[in-house]
Amino acid sequence: MAIEKQDAVQGFINHHVMHHAGSVDAWNLPFLRVDALEWFHYDAVMVFVVAALLLAVAAAVRRSTAEIPKGLAAVAEAYVVFIRDQIVYPNFGAACGRGLLSFFCTLFIFILTANLLGLVPLFSTATGNVSVTAGLATVFMLVCLGAVVKLRGLRGLKGAFIPHGLPGWLTPVMAVMEVISFFSRVFALTMRLFCNLLAGHIVIYSLLGLVVVYGLAALPAVLVAVAMYFFELFVAFLQAYVFTLLSAIFMNMMVNPEH
């Protein structure tokens, strides 16, 4: 009896859960199954859905230049002002920050929208895939190096990676440590966003999987799953903020090295 129930749980997980948490070859909509193209994964499609949604919102608020914005423009301005005053200007100052503001706004709003769309029942989380977050972190790495070269010239790379104010024999060691820590920051950004987003989904699916084994007695598990869903809503906002804030801080550490 226990073995059959275990097989039932395994079958439930393989059929219903793994295609949310793992790689997907087909879109299992409720009454329809669409075999995806060979080179389009469900999370990749979600990236394009997020991009299309954001472009639609941007086109809608493009021409609202009123002094006091209303409606969708007010929401968009609230986000941009939040990023400008809390993340970019405290780190970079007004002159330098003006050019970098659009990059950080893009990061924040893309990650936030991708996280939130993953909570809608039929969609998958774009940022819950390590390839998407690795792509975001790689873009951050390239923009970081580009900003250092553009704002400080090629000597800026020397200033960013080689600390000064140390005894002569220690500087090569610290330079190697700086290069390693640059790549480790990029890796940590990737893994932090990916793990936080994926773990929330897996916890919810595991709790709902208890219904297969216990039936109606698993109602408290369903209530806990609903509570975890609201917690995941909070984590979506928090992780977008943390990714953008850490990107700003790391870029600031490279563009303006402290003395």
Partner 1 sequence: MMLPMAESMAAIGAGMIMIGAALGIGLLFAVGLQSSARQPELQPKLQTAMIIGAAFIEGAALFALVICLMKG
Residues that bind partner 1 (CB under 8 A): 90, 184-185, 187-188, 191-192, 195, 242, 245-246, 249
Torsion, CA 39, CA 128, CA 11, CA 34, rounded to 10:
-40
CB of 191 to partner 1, least distance (A): 5
Q: Which of 133, 135, 125 is nearest to 233 (CA)?
A: 125
**Residue 61 or residue 203: which is nearer to partner 1 going by CB?**
203
Distance CA 223, CA 241 (A): 28
Nearer to partner 1, 84 or 192 (CB): 192
Q: Name the phi and psi angles at 52, rounded to 5.
A: -65, -40
Q: State the nearest-atom distance from the C-beta of 14 to partner 1, in Å.
A: 19
Q: In the complex, what is the shortest distance from the CB of residue 188 to partner 1, in angstroms, rounded to a whole number?
A: 4
CA pair distance 217, 221, nearest whole angstrom: 9
For partner 1, give the closer residue by CB, 179 or 222: 179
- The Cβ-side half-sphere exposure at 229, using a 13 Å CA radius, reads 14
CB of 68 to partner 1, least distance (A): 27
The nearest distance, CB 200 to partner 1, in angstroms, is 16
**Cβ-contact 184, 197 below 8 angstroms:** no
Question: In terms of CB distance, is 96 or 246 closer to partner 1?
Answer: 246
Closest CB to partner 1 among 188 and 212?
Answer: 188
Quickly list DSSP for 140-165: HHHHHHHHHHHHH-THHHHHHHS--S
